[in-house]
Structures are given as structure tokens and as C-alpha cells.
């Protein structure tokens, strides 16, 4: 499942931002705070350049569901940015 992370800035600023901050969010089903569950890299194409961005994963300890925090400039399952 995905949770959209509102991030109105550029892709380069997102890459710097996401590596230095811990994002707190709650489960959309039960409301309990989510635990960190690692991250993975994803390639995003923007105009003439491609970027490899980290996608944070979170897990709910009660529901046992895993969520990916996608930045708002990327759609789920898309390879191109929305800018």
C-alpha cells in the first residue's frame, strides 16, 4: 500500500531531505504510529535526466501491513515525475 508524502520541492531537494529526517505517520486503518521498515530505491525519469530516489517503508505493528511513503511528484507504479 502507498501513502502519498506531500513534498512540493524538487527531486534533488527530496533526496537530501529524505536521508536526514525521520518521518512520523500513523496507520490509515487503525491509527497506530507506524514503525520503520527499511527503504528501497526507485528510478524516476524527469525531462532529460533520471534520478534514483529512496522510498521509505513503514509497517503497522497491529495490522501487520506495510506502507511505502511515495513523494507527491511520483504516482504509484509510474516511472515519470509529475512536475
Task: Tell me the pLDDT tens digit for each residue of 11-24.
Answer: 888 888 887 788 88
Q: Shortest CA distance to 46 belongs to which of 83, 17, 76, 21?
A: 83
| Confidence (pTM) | 0.83
- The full DSSP string for 48-74 is TEEEEEEEEEEE-TTT--EEEEEETTB
Question: Would residue 79 count as lying in a domain?
Answer: no
Total domains present in the chain:
1
Task: Tell me the pLDDT tens digit for each residue of 24-52.
Answer: 899 999 999 999 999 999 999 988 899 99
Question: Would residue 76 count as lying in a domain?
Answer: no
Is the distance from CB of 19 to CB of 41 less than 8 angstroms? no
Q: How far is CA 62 from CA 2, 5, 23, 30, in A?
A: 17, 22, 19, 8
Question: Would residue 17 count as lying in a domain?
Answer: yes
- Domain carrying residue 28: 2-71
Amino acid at each position: 500500500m502507498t501513502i502519498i508524502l506531500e513534498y512540493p520541492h524538487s527531486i534533488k531537494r527530496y533526496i537530501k531531505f529524505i536521508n536526514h529526517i525521520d518521518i512520523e505517520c500513523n496507520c490509515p486503518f487503525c491509527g497506530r504510529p507506524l514503525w520503520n521498515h527499511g527503504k528501497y530505491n526507485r528510478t524516476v525519469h524527469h525531462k532529460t535526466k533520471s534520478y534514483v530516489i529512496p522510498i521509505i517503508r513503514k509497517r503497522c505493528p497491529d495490522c501487520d501491513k506495510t506502507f511505502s511513503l511515495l513523494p507527491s511528484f511520483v504516482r504509484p507504479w509510474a516511472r515519470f515525475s509529475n512536475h
